[in-house]
Amino acid sequence: MQKINLDKAYRLLNHGPTILVSSSFNGKQNIMAVAWNMPLDFDPPKICVVIDKNTYTRELIEASGTFAINVPCVAQVSLVTKLGSSSGRELNGTDKFAENQLETFAAKHIAAPLLAGCVAWLECKIISEPHNQNTFDLFIAEVVAAYADERVFSDGRWHFEGHDQEEYDKLRTIHHVAGGAFFATGVAIQANI
Amino acid sequence: MQKINLDKAYRLLNHGPTILVSSSFNGKQNIMAVAWNMPLDFDPPKICVVIDKNTYTRELIEASGTFAINVPCVAQVSLVTKLGSSSGRELNGTDKFAENQLETFAAKHIAAPLLAGCVAWLECKIISEPHNQNTFDLFIAEVVAAYADERVFSDGRWHFEGHDQEEYDKLRTIHHVAGGAFFATGVAIQANI
Among A13, A42, A51, A177, the residue to mutate for chain B (most B Cβ within 10 A): A177
**C-alpha closest to that of A71 among A153, A163, A190:** A153
In angstroms, the CA A120 to CA A135 distance is 30
Predicted confidence at residue A138, as pLDDT, reads 98
* Chain A nearest CA to B73, separation (Å): 11
Interchain CB contact of A38 with B (< 8 Å): yes
Distance linking the first and last C-alpha atoms of chain A: 34
Among B69, B168, B189, B192, the residue to mutate for chain A (most A Cβ within 10 A): B189
Q: Provide the sign of the torsion angle of the four alpha carbons B176, B181, B184, B186, taken in this order.
A: negative
**A184:B181 CB<8 A:** no
Name chain A contacts of B161, Cβ cutoff 8 Å: none
Query: Considering the domain boundaries, does residue A44 fall inside one?
Result: yes
Provide the domain limits for residue A27. Answer: 2-184
Q: What percent of chain B has pLDDT over 70?
A: 100
DSSP state of B193: -
Contacts of A79 (CB under 8 A, 6+ apart): A72, A100, A102
B-contacting residues of A 53-112, CB under 8 Å?
Answer: 74, 77-78, 80-82, 85
Query: Considering the domain boundaries, does residue A193 fall inside one?
Result: no
Read off the pLDDT of residues B121-134 as tens digits, 9 standing for 90 and up: 999 999 999 999 99
Query: Considering the domain boundaries, does residue B119 fall inside one?
Result: yes
Query: Considering the domain boundaries, does residue A189 fall inside one?
Result: no
DSSP three-state, residue A57 = helix
Instruction: Please state the domain count of chain B.
Output: 1
Name chain B contacts of A85, Cβ cutoff 8 Å: 193
Read off the pLDDT of residues A17-64 as tens digits, 9 standing for 90 and up: 999 999 999 999 999 999 999 999 999 999 999 999 999 999 999 999
Query: Considering the domain boundaries, does residue A72 fall inside one?
Result: yes
DSSP three-state, residue B130 = helix
Query: Considering the domain boundaries, does residue A191 fall inside one?
Result: no
In angstroms, the CA B113 to CA B105 distance is 6
Query: Considering the domain boundaries, does residue B193 fall inside one?
Result: no
Contacts of A134 (CB under 8 A, 6+ apart): none
Residue B168 belongs to a domain with what CATH number? 2.30.110.10
**A183:B183 CB<8 A:** no
Query: Considering the domain boundaries, does residue A153 fall inside one?
Result: yes
For B88-150, where are the E strands, in sequence order? 104-105, 114-115, 120-127, 138-148
Of A193 and B25, more confident: B25
pTM: 0.97
**B186:A176 CB<8 A:** no
